[in-house]
A = this chain, B = another copy of it.
Amino acid sequence: MLTLTVDLADRSYPIYIGNGLLDDELLAKHVHGRQVMIVSNETVAPLYLQRLVNQLADFSVDTLILPDGEKYKDLDHLNLIFDALLEKRHNRTTTLIALGGGVVGDMTGFAAASYQRGVNFIQVPTTLLSQVDSSVGGKTGVNHAKGKNMIGAFHQPVAVLADTGVLASLPERELSAGLAEVIKYGLIYDQEFFNWLEQNMDRLRAQNTEALTHAIYRACQIKAEVVAQDERESGIRALLNLGHTFGHAIETAQGYGTWLHGEAVGAGMLMAADLSARCGWLSSEDVERVRSLIVAAGLPVAAPADMTPDEFKQLMSVDKKVLDGRIRLVLMRAIGDALVTEAFDSKLLNETLGAGPRLGQL
Point out residues on A near B: beta carbons under 8 Å: 75, 79, 82-83, 86-87, 91-92, 113-118, 139, 141, 144, 146-147, 150-154, 232, 320
Contact = CB atoms under 8 A, between A and B. Distances in A.
A83 B150 CA distance: 10
Contact of A82 (B117, B144, B154, B232): B144
A114 to B, nearest CB: 5
A115 B150 contact: yes
B117 A153 contact: yes
Nearest to A78: B75
A330 B287 CA distance: 68
Given A117-B139, A118-B153, 12 more contacts: A75-B75, A75-B79, A82-B150, A86-B144, A91-B320, A114-B114, A115-B151, A116-B150, A116-B152, A117-B141, A117-B154, A118-B154
A20 B114 CA distance: 36
Contacts of A116: 150, 152, 320
A141 B92 CA distance: 15
Given A75-B79, A117-B139, A141-B117, A86 B147 contact: yes
B75 A151 contact: no
A272 B115 CA distance: 30
Contacts of A153: 113-114, 117-118, 153
Contacts of A146: 83, 86-87
A75 B111 CA distance: 13
A50 to B, nearest CB: 28
A259 to B, nearest CB: 24
Contacts of A82: 144, 150-151
8 contacts: A75-B75, A86-B147, A115-B150, A116-B152, A116-B320, A117-B139, A117-B152, A118-B154
B86 A150 contact: yes
A167 B113 CA distance: 35
Nearest to A233: B117
Contacts of A118: 153-154, 232
A252 to B, nearest CB: 16
Nearest to A91: B320
A279 to B, nearest CB: 28
A79 B75 CA distance: 8
A139 B115 CA distance: 13
